[in-house]
A and B are shown apart, each in its own frame.
Chain A
């Protein structure tokens, strides 16, 4: 893999993100509203003297803030729709005749978006560092940063594959919305997975979504034993591999059906 061309794609992605600064901050305000409601909801629950699982009020608030941050970092935006249009409008021809891989192109572009969001979020949330990260160890933070790459990759590969399904389904917007709803819930973005009912926990355990939000938060907050950490890292990497192979297989099978209209 020639890394220079992907470095240029990455840099272009960053520049493009910086053009839409206003849109980014508007999106951030929107997320802040939904975070506010969650915090008030749980404050209300704890004011009644209730306890949610093993979470203290502070632990739950920290969970939601970090989950929002991770959600913003890993999000793929309209990736499936973008791929859908590339295939439907025949723009894929440009990728086929150039030495650029569609998946890596999209991935590095996606990573550039994540980096810009991460940088902006680190600045915006800095006044709350003492509250959010006071109990977080450097070692946990380092493992978390590494695991975040796994999270980004899993989320990216799922939605990339949905986009690629355009080869077979023609229209994938419905599938993309279905998966984004399911991923948000089963990744732990809406509610911590360990307070879910037992039946749901079984489903969550066999799917890759938990590695997107829930597991990274547990790593960052240190609520994970060394043994579980090893299996979480291994599990995450296996899912990246499985999804990667599936994505390549789907793409290759799709190309056989591709009729290169337009372009």
Chain B
């Protein structure tokens, strides 16, 4: 137990150092950093403008009111923001394989998956998380939560959001691991981003049964934002919470296995 705690402490320390290094690197050119932050802010603002425009024509989107839909959008934005801030959607995998620098990480006495995951974190994307929280608070204040145990709902919402982060990370890791076979496919990051981006709208819009099942199991989009928002608004149901936690564990385990399998195909092209 003592050993495990010490190990976690070391990993946390490495992570903090890596975040600090990313911050220093990004802010080396302050003007550029401010502009990037502004670009992220504008992207979020335009995203919300799009939702606003849709609701100019409708009252509800597949049963979700404007403010309820904003809860989903902000939940997605939190996950997306955290993915960029903490591991930059695992862009490190591509860059390290492409340059052959993965060798440097593999020979280090720490887990390679961890090292490649924290290899880059984009500090400007904290703006994304801040805007997401702002949107969340704004939407939450407009929703009638009478009869709901807000504290309990919020606890389970946070748990499911943590699961959503793990699922997104695992999906990203599994997809990026394909790069070990073909480094040409740089667009893989786009696939991961576009798949997770689909979760910013209520998954109830997928009215075809087969597609709904697909997006609840194979690619569990529903558990990235819609289910957490449902739990917050209507209270936790054992089915939602257990499925969310179960899926996160399964996806993390499988992606880890796939990463280790893919790593065996690393041929260290250059260094």
Binding site for B on A (CB under 8 A): 19-20, 22-24, 26-27, 29-31, 33-34, 36-37, 40-41, 43-45, 47-48, 50-53, 169-175, 177-178, 181-182, 185, 190-191, 195-197, 200
Name the CB-closest residue of B to A20.
B184
Contacts of B36 in A (CB 8 A): 173-174, 177-178
Cα–Cα, bound, A213→B257 (Å)? 44
B187 contacts which of A30, A43, A170, A195 (Cβ < 8 Å)? A30
Check if A22 sits within 8 Å of B185, measured CB to CB: yes
Count residues of chain B with CB under 8 A from any CB of chain A.
42
Q: Does B38 contact A (CB under 8 A)?
A: yes
The contact sample of 9 A-B pairs, CB cut-off 8 A, is A26-B185, A30-B187, A31-B190, A34-B197, A44-B62, A170-B32, A171-B31, A185-B49, A185-B50
Contact with A along B174-203 (1 / 0, CB 8 A): 000000001011111011011101100100
Residues of B within 8 A of A173 (CB): 32, 36
Contacts of A177 in B (CB 8 A): 36, 39-40
Of A23, A34, A196, the contact of B184 (CB 8 Å cutoff)? A23
Contact of A174 among B32, B46, B201 (CB under 8 A): B32
Partner of A37, one of B56, B57, B198: B198
Q: A37-B201, A41-B205, A191-B50 are in contact. Are A23 and B32 (CB under 8 A)?
A: no
Taking a contact as CB atoms under 8 Å apart, the answer to whether A26 and B201 are in contact is no
The 4 closest A-B pairs by CB, nearest first: A174-B35, A178-B39, A174-B36, A27-B187
Known A26-B185, A170-B29; 19 more pairs at CB < 8 Å:
A30-B190, A30-B191, A31-B190, A31-B194, A40-B206, A41-B54, A41-B61, A52-B57, A169-B32, A171-B32, A173-B36, A174-B35, A178-B38, A181-B39, A181-B42, A185-B46, A185-B49, A190-B46, A191-B50
Q: Are B205 and A23 in contact (CB under 8 A)?
A: no
The CA-CA distance from A102 to B196 in the complex, in Å, is 38
Whether A169 touches B31, Cβ cut-off 8 Å, given contacts A48-B58, A50-B58, A174-B36, is yes
Smallest CB gap from B56: residue in A: A197
Q: How far is the CA of A36 from the CA of B199 in the complex (A)?
A: 12
B33 within 8 A of A: yes
Of A23, A33, A191, A200, which contacts B186 at CB under 8 A?
Answer: A23
Report the Cα distance A174→B42, complex, angstroms.
Answer: 12
Task: For B50, list chain A residues within 8 Å (CB).
Answer: 185, 190-191
Q: In the complex, how many angstroms separate the beta carbon of B232 from the nearest chain A beta carbon?
A: 22
Q: For residue A184, give the distance in angstroms from its CB to the closest CB of chain B.
A: 8
A37 and B73 CA atoms in complex are apart in Å by 14
Are A23 and B185 in touch, CB under 8 angstroms?
A: yes
A23-B184 Cα distance, complex, nearest whole Å: 6
